[in-house]
Structure 1
Amino acid sequence: MAIFNSYLNFNGTTEEAFRFYQSVLGGEFLTLERFSDTPEADRLRPEDRDKIMHISLPLGNGNILMGTDALESMGHPLTVGNNFYLSVQAESKEEAHRLFDGLSAGGIVKVPLGRASWGAYFGMFDDKFGIQWMVHHDE
Structure 2
Amino acid sequence: MADDRGGAIIPTYDGPGGPRIPPPSDLAVIVFDPTTGLTASSKTFSRAQLLAAVGNVLPYGLDTDAPGRLDDLVDEVLDVTGYAVRAPDSGSTVMTSTARYTTQDILDAEAYVRDRRSPATARTRPR
Q: TM-score, normalised by structure 2?
A: 0.26
Name whichever structure is richer in helix by fraction. 2
Greater share of strand = 1
TM-score, normalization by structure 1: 0.24
